[in-house]
Amino acid sequence: MEEKETEKKIIEGSETSNPNAFAEGIEIMPSNDKIDSEKEENKQGKEEIKNENEEEGKEKPIQEINIDKEAPKIQTEKIPEIETKKTPDEKKEGKEEKIIPKTDLEKSDLKMGEEIQEMVRKETGVIGGKEPKSLMRTVRTYQGDVAGILKNQKTSFTKMVIAEEERKRGKGKTINEKKKTRKTTTILGVFLIIVMAGAYLFLENQNSQPKTIIEIKIPTIIFPNYQREILLKNLEKRTITKTIKEEELNILIPLGSIMQLYLTREDLKKEYIVEQTEGYKIILTTEVFLNSLETKVSNSLTRALKPDFVFGYHSSLGNNPFLLFKVKSYENVYAGMLDWEKYMYNDLIDIFKRENSTLSLNEETMTFKDIVVMNKDVRAILNKEGKIEFAYSFPDKSTLVIANNKTTLEEIFRRVLMANLERKN
């Protein structure tokens, strides 16, 4: 009851002293006599409450206040701050002296202060005397970062400025290097494009220009009566011999006449043509012809013969084959022919063997002998009747002839002589 009367007095004093003080938030300090009387009444009231609580074993419940009603204007009392004394050591360490209450009033005030602090901690979330962590994240600023670095790393602002300038320079160098790399790559790309474009234009120009076609003349060591082309599908020995023998059966020429057969093959590069023919073709050379027939001719003999040669048939009691070669070195060709004698007939038998031949293939019958035909030295293989089955001779030192009978040799000798005279004139 006394406590209520005290509160009533405080309220009445606040209303009479300044009615707008509560609304304006101004604290009004009561007079000293009034404070002393209120303290004594509070002390008596607390002792009575304490005694009642001790008797009942519990504290008196706090009366509920109806907040729906208009709250009366209460004069707030400002609690004077209690200064704490620090020892010199505690001042250095930043510690405060612990306040020890002496009177019951101080104990009661201290207890009330602790209760109020505890309520404040619960309301504000302060636990263990530590400040609560803010629910909002602190906004990070450049100035705050600089201040943190200065504080934590104990560096100077000047050093930070220098470091920042070096970082900017390094970044600038990196950007410049990237720009240089891009520039170099661009230049190389443009250069490659120019080169490729130039190559393309060059090739187009080459393709647009007409190709230079070379025309091959048919070899004319002698003057034949007839000429005919034999186009070979390939350069195999079997193909060549078969094609020649089939053509032999189709040759129908007057007696004593000569048919020249020039062997050709397709030119895949399309650079050559042969006179009197159609399409891109080339004429077989001496080396290609002998190699295609798989002959055992030495390299020295092949090199001593010129590329041009003539193959044909002479009409005399049938169609008789012959070969004519132009000679670069008589001595080398003569020596090469002597070395080739032991293989020559077997290498050329598919083309030069006579239909009515009685020659047996053995070492005795395969021996070459020296004979003379029209005052010309001839190396020949003779049959049992002493007739020529196979022979070769030099009508002059620039010409080599191979035949399989005496009549054909004599006709070739005459024609070589006539060709030489014709060329001289």
Enumerate residues 6+ apart whose C-beta is below 8 A from 219: 262, 283, 308, 309, 310
At 4 the pLDDT is 43
At 77 the pLDDT is 46
Give helix 32-56 / helix 2-17 axis angle, nearest 10°.
Answer: 150
At 191 the pLDDT is 86
| Secondary structure (DSSP) of 213-276 | PEEEPPP-SS--SEEEEEE-S---HHHHHHHHHHHHHT----TT-EEEEEEEEE-TT--EEETT
Structure tokens at 413: 């000798």
At 202 the pLDDT is 79
At 84 the pLDDT is 47
Average pLDDT of 136-158? 60
Burial of residue 87 (CB within 10 Å: 0-12, 13-18, 19+) is exposed
Higher pLDDT, 213 or 148: 213
Average pLDDT of 332-339? 96
Chain segment 77-96, per-residue pLDDT in tens: 444 444 444 555 544 444 44
Average pLDDT of 285-296? 94
Kind of pairing between the strands at 281-283 and 214-216? unpaired
Contact (CB, 8 A) for 80 and 106: no
Predicted confidence (pLDDT) at residue 271 exceeds the cutoff of 70: yes
At 303 the pLDDT is 94
Predicted confidence (pLDDT) at residue 305 exceeds the cutoff of 70: yes
At 235 the pLDDT is 92
Chain segment 170-216, per-residue pLDDT in tens: 655 566 677 778 888 888 888 889 988 888 887 777 666 566 888 88
Give the chain's length: 425
Give helix 32-56 / helix 104-124 axis angle, nearest 10°.
Answer: 80
At 3 the pLDDT is 44
d(CA 322, CA 63) in angstroms, rounded, equals: 149
Please, which pLDDT band fits residue 20 given cuts at 50, 70 and 90?
A: very low
Average pLDDT of 125-154? 56
| Range from 30-44, 62-76, 112-126 carrying the lowest mean pLDDT | 62-76
pLDDT more than 70, % of the chain = 57
User: What is the residue-averaged pLDDT of the chain?
Assistant: 75
According to the per-residue pLDDT averaged within each range, which of 78-82, 130-134, 142-146, 220-224 is highest? 220-224
Predicted confidence (pLDDT) at residue 353 exceeds the cutoff of 50: yes
d(CA 202, CA 196) in angstroms, rounded, equals: 10
Higher pLDDT, 39 or 29: 39
Q: Does the reported pTM lie above 0.85? A: no
